[in-house]
Each structure stands twice: as C-alpha cells, then as structure tokens.
Structure 1
Amino acid sequence: MLNLSKAAILQLNELLCQVDNRIDQYLRKWEEEVKLLQTIPGVQKQTATAILAEIGTDMHAFPNQHHLASWCGLCPGNNESAGKKKSERINHGNSSLKTALVEAAWAAVHTKESYLKRRYYSLSVRRGKKRALIAIAHKILIATYFILKNRVPYMEPDNQEWLKKRKQAQINNYLRRLRELEALPPSQ
C-alpha cells in the first residue's frame, strides 16, 4: 500500500513539473510584464501569471481602471437612495482573479514598510479586516492596470508625506486631549 501511494505521489509530482514547464514556455512571451507585475508588493510569479492569464496584457479592452475593477468584482458597491445607504457588497466578477488578488493583498499586508500595509491598517480600524483586505486587492488591481498600460514598474507613494501627516495628526490629538484635561474640574 505504501509503495502504491509513493508511486502515485511521484507520478503526480512529475505531472506537475510538466505543467510548470509548459506554463514557463508560454510565459516567455510575457517575461517583461511578469517582471513588472512582480514589483508590486505581495505579487510573485504565480500571482503575476494568474493576473496575465485572466486579463491579458492589452489594457485597451478596458476604458479605464474602474471598468477593470468592476469586471473583476473588486469595486465597492454604492447603493444609496434618499440618503440611506443600502448594500455595499462587491459584485461577483471573475472569481479566480479575485482570489489571486486577495492572496496577493494578504502577502502585501505582511511586507515591511509598504504603503499597502499602512493603508490596510488604516482601513481595518474603521471598516474591518476583510473589507480592508478587499480594498488592498482593489489597489493592487488598479496598480496592475497602470503597470500593464504604461509599461512602468510599481512606485511606492512618498513615505515622507505620510509621516508628516501622521506627526501632525498626533500633535493635534495630543493638543485636543490637553484641552479636554484642562477643562476637567479639579479633583478633591
């Protein structure tokens, strides 16, 4: 029984190697696009392959990045009527691409000193972890659109500007807290 199980595992591993080699042969045409997509935090070769397999390299099929996000199913719902917000769920879209992007978002959230990590923690406090993860997947998809359209690598937003805003927000928060403490009546 063990020999049969071992033989089956070896056969499956051999088949997987053949499939991987075939995929690598197909990807030789798009080596530049794969390398450009890998500049996004959290996107590795498998994710880049999945993205290219689902949306291709020609971004002229989508009028803008919002159409791509809608097609993928990663754009947030905006159902509001008479000032009342209703459903904010995302639509179904392309499930395999959405899965690959959410996995990439999860990996991006765990990279050190990245914009996507900061954005995730900023959103997760207000919206929840799962919604924040979908928002990061949306950001990765938008970055993918512009990378494939303009053929440029991913560029991280300026960290210095964010640090200045964060420092000013902390100063304002401490000043507000000080004013609140001054307004309290003296304890007896």
Structure 2
Amino acid sequence: MDEVEDEPLYVERVCAIDVAKGRLDACVRVPSDRNPRRRAQEVRTFGTTKKEIMALADWLRCWGVVQVVMESTGDYWKAPFFRLEAEGLECTLADARQVKHLPGRPKTDLADCVWLARNFERGMVAACFVPPPEIRRLRTLTRYRRHLTEERSREKQRCEKLLEDAQIKLSVVVSDLHGVSARDMMEALIAGQRDPGTLAQLARGAMRGKIKMLEEALDGADTFTDHHAFVLRMMLDNIDRITSQIDKLTAQIEELIAPFEHQVGQLDAIPGIGRTAAQDLIAEIGIDMRVFPTPAHLVSWCKFCPQVKSSAGKRKGRNAKGRGNRYVAGVLGEVSVSAGKTKTRIGARYRRLARRRGKPKAQVAVGNTVLTIAHALLSNPEAVYQDLGVDYYETRLHHRKQTAGHVRALQHLGYRVTLEPLEPAT
C-alpha cells in the first residue's frame, strides 16, 4: 500500500465508495503501521451484485473499517448502502454537490473515491438523510401511489380532450367529468346512444336540474364516431385499472402506517392535511425529528426556504428555492391550497401572501409554516395542534398599522382619504 502524510483526522479508518451502475470503486484509508503520522490507503474495484458487495464487506472487516461513505448517485447507491448497513457497517450518504471534483483535479472513478475518503476522514462531508427501513418500505408505496394518481389525472384529461375533439361540451356543464352522471353518459355514448335528450336523462341527483344545459352540451353527439368510442373505452378501462391499483396500495399503506397512527393523527389536525397527505409526509421525513435538530433544518432540507442571492446591490437569479424533495413539495403544494380555503390561521396566512406576492410565493411560505408545525408535533408525542384563529394577524397587528394599510390601499385605487376618529381619545 502507498503511504502519504496528512493532517490530524476526524475518522481514523474509513472507506469511500464511488458508485456506478455496475461498478464500485472503494478506497480504504487507515493509519500506517510504520509511521502513525502517515496514512495507508488501498483502492479496489468490486461489482454491484450481492456476492461482490459481500466480498467488499469482508475486505472492510479485514482492515477494521466501520465507517463507509458513498455518493448519492441516482438510485445505484441503494444496493451497496442497504447491504453494507445490514452487515453492521456505519454507512453515510454524501451529497454529490459537496464532493464534486475541483478544477484541475483528475476526474476518474479511482480518483473520486480517494478524494471522497480524504474529505470524509477530515469531517468535511455532511451526511444526507436516509430514513430507517420501516419508513423506506412505506415510502416505496406512497411514492408509487402518487405516481399512479398523477397518471390517472393525465388519463382523465385525455378523456376531456377526446370529448372536445368529438364536439361534446360535457365538461362545461359537469364539474366532475368522471362523476356518476357523466360516467353513465360516456358509457351510453360508447354503447351507441347519440340522442342528446336520452343522454341528458341519465343525470342523477342535483344534475337533474341541468337537463336543458346537458342537452345543449350533448347536441354534438352525432359527431361522436366509432373511433372516438373505441379510444374512450380504453381510457375509461385504464382509469378503472389505475383506481383499483391505488385502492390496493392504500390498503397496504394502512397496514404499514399502523405503528405510526399517533403521528398521523397529529399531522391530520393541521388545516389542509388529510390522512393521505399525513401518510405521504411521514413517508418522506420520518417520525424521528432528531435527524433535523431544528425546524429550520427540516425546512432547509425540503428546500422551502428561498435564498436571496445578490451582488453589488443586484439580485441574482429568480431567488428559486432549489431542488428539494419533489414528493414533499407536491404534498405541501396541495396542503397550502386546501388550507387557503379554510377559516384558520394558516388559511389567513395563505390569503394574505397570495394577495400581496402571488400564489406561488404563498404556497412556499405556507409550506414552510406547515413543516415548522409538523416538526414541533413529531418532536413531542404529547403535542396537540391548536389553531390560533382566522383573526390571528389582525389581533396582533397594531391598529395604526392596520389603518395605514387600508389608507394605502384606497390611495392606490385613486381615492383621497381623510380620517376623522369617532372618539377624540382614539
């Protein structure tokens, strides 16, 4: 082994792995036997199969290495990480952006694993969050459920486009194109029914009050041809198939989420978060908030804290929040919109910010608030969410500031405002 002289270390025995699809380049760095101030290192290449990873684990045991670090390369890091973790090694996942190669440094897989080992043994590499096995199993199901839900939504949109192509304006009258009444009408169209009056009579419940409007919307049914019926049949069957798969996933998720039922109830109390959103959020951030020392750490990990970059008094870029966990972002986006319709403190916050700064910024701000509340609830099993009320901001804002805000709003609309207090002492 080659010997090199370095500075005092944070970890004495370390292994760094550069991960590829079918290859693992591992560098072991340990104290030198001949000189304690020098390091001994060896680089070997292994495959990514179970047999090769087990051989890598045996090699690490021979050198007394317990600490293993690897880059988060796509999904390829999961096989060696989980296998070595099961063998009792302490694995750390490093963000590739933190250990990318410097300009002028040779860029090869072997050089990368040596560079990663040198950085990690000095404590210069921060660990990425990797949830425990029970959360990982739950995450696999919740993520696939979201993918299927998105695919079902796309298929429903294709149905609407197909009806528009056939000059059927059913979606103008019906709010839910895949409700009971609209579904019966589409089934009748596929079966060959083309009379607008007959199709409109299939309406149920409150839709019976729109018979006349439905007849006008279905007046173009004579242009609904056989090829429209053939494609619509496939679309509806696909929607039913995806719905059935989503129901099966939900049943399996309910079994896996049972040990965390208390945490689901805590998150479900937050305005805008339902049971499904609570399950998705737990699957992404877990229930052990010790990995996020403060709420700010959790918010930063989810990239819901936009950073302002400026130079010479000018802002750079669009102050984007960066690339975070897209599944958390999807959940929080839905939660913020739902909470904005409620008479709660979070709803009031969304409406205030959406009015002044726009809906996208309001969603990020409300997502930040929801994550902060979730961190507080999950950190304390005894904690219970209590809403502060829809008038939270009005009651804590001084009346003079409220008055000045209303005056500015009226002046912006083109009015000259004169204030006269009802009571002289006011």
Q: Normalising by the residue count of structure 2, what TM-score does the alignment of the two structures yield?
A: 0.38
Q: Which residue is 1:108 aligned to?
A: 339
**Secondary structure of the corresponding residue to residue 257 of structure 2:** helix
Q: Which residue is 1:137 aligned to?
A: 367
Report the Cα distance in structure 2 between the residues aligned to 1:3 and 1:86, rounded to whole angstroms.
Answer: 51
- Larger deviation, residues 5-14 vs 117-126: 5-14
Q: Which residue is 1:148 aligned to?
A: 378
- Residues matched between the structures, number: 181
Please tell me the residue identity of whatever aligns with 2:307: G
1:126 aligns with 2:348: no
Deviations along 1:127-150, whole A, 9 cap, x unmatched? 212111111111111111111112
Please tell me the residue identity of whatever aligns with 1:50: D
The answer on whether the counterparts of 1:38 and 1:45 sit within 8 Å (CA) in structure 2 is yes
1:86 aligns with 2:316: yes
- Larger deviation, residues 10-19 vs 75-84: 10-19
- The alpha-carbon deviation at position 91 of structure 1 amounts to 1.1
| Residue 27 (structure 1) aligned to one of 257, 261, 284 | 257
Report the Cα distance in structure 2 between the residues aligned to 1:68 and 1:103, rounded to whole angstroms.
Answer: 19
Inter-CA distance 45–166: structure 2 relative to 1 (3 Å threshold) = farther
Inter-CA distance 168–93: structure 2 relative to 1 (3 Å threshold) = same
- Larger deviation, residues 155-164 vs 53-62: 155-164
Inter-CA distance 167–16: structure 2 relative to 1 (3 Å threshold) = same
Inter-CA distance 12–167: structure 2 relative to 1 (3 Å threshold) = same
Inter-CA distance 161–181: structure 2 relative to 1 (3 Å threshold) = closer
Inter-CA distance 173–142: structure 2 relative to 1 (3 Å threshold) = closer
Please tell me the residue identity of whatever aligns with 2:332: L
Report the Cα distance in structure 2 between the residues aligned to 1:173 and 1:36, rounded to whole angstroms.
Answer: 36
**Secondary structure of the corresponding residue to residue 106 of structure 1:** helix
Inter-CA distance 160–127: structure 2 relative to 1 (3 Å threshold) = closer
Report the Cα distance in structure 1 between the residues aligned to 2:296 and 2:269, rounded to whole angstroms.
Answer: 22
The answer on whether the counterparts of 1:37 and 1:153 sit within 8 Å (CA) in structure 2 is no
Q: Which residue is 2:283 aligned to?
A: 53
| Residue 72 (structure 1) aligned to one of 291, 296, 302 | 302
Report the Cα distance in structure 1 between the residues aligned to 2:380 and 2:287, rounded to whole angstroms.
Answer: 11
Please tell me the residue identity of whatever aligns with 2:285: I
The equivalences for 1:153-172 within 5 A come to 153-157=384-388, 162-164=393-395, 165=397, 167-172=399-404
Q: Which residue is 1:95 aligned to?
A: 326
| Percent identity for Structure 1 against Structure 2 | 30
- Larger deviation, residues 102-111 vs 69-78: 69-78
- The alpha-carbon deviation at position 33 of structure 1 amounts to 0.2
Q: Which has the higher strand share?
A: 2
- Larger deviation, residues 78-87 vs 19-28: 78-87
Deviations along 1:108-134, whole A, 9 cap, x unmatched? 00112x111211222223321211111
Q: Normalising by the residue count of structure 1, what TM-score does the alignment of the two structures yield?
A: 0.80
- The alpha-carbon deviation at position 36 of structure 1 amounts to 0.3
| Residue 274 (structure 2) aligned to one of 35, 38, 44 | 44
- The alpha-carbon deviation at position 13 of structure 1 amounts to 4.3
- Larger deviation, residues 44-53 vs 155-164: 155-164
Please tell me the residue identity of whatever aligns with 2:246: L
Inter-CA distance 107–175: structure 2 relative to 1 (3 Å threshold) = closer
Q: Which has the higher helix share?
A: 1
Report the Cα distance in structure 2 between the residues aligned to 1:83 and 1:3, rounded to whole angstroms.
Answer: 59
Please tell me the residue identity of whatever aligns with 2:263: E
- The alpha-carbon deviation at position 155 of structure 1 amounts to 2.1
Inter-CA distance 174–31: structure 2 relative to 1 (3 Å threshold) = closer
Q: Which residue is 1:186 aligned to?
A: none
Report the Cα distance in structure 2 between the residues aligned to 1:77 and 1:48, rounded to whole angstroms.
Answer: 27
Q: Which runs of 5+ in 1 are unaligned?
A: 183-188
Deviations along 1:27-76, whole A, 9 cap, x unmatched? 11000000000110000011001100001000001121111111111111
Please tell me the residue identity of whatever aligns with 2:272: G
| Residue 63 (structure 1) aligned to one of 290, 293, 314 | 293
Report the Cα distance in structure 2 between the residues aligned to 1:91 and 1:179, rounded to whole angstroms.
Answer: 43
Please tell me the residue identity of whatever aligns with 1:104: V
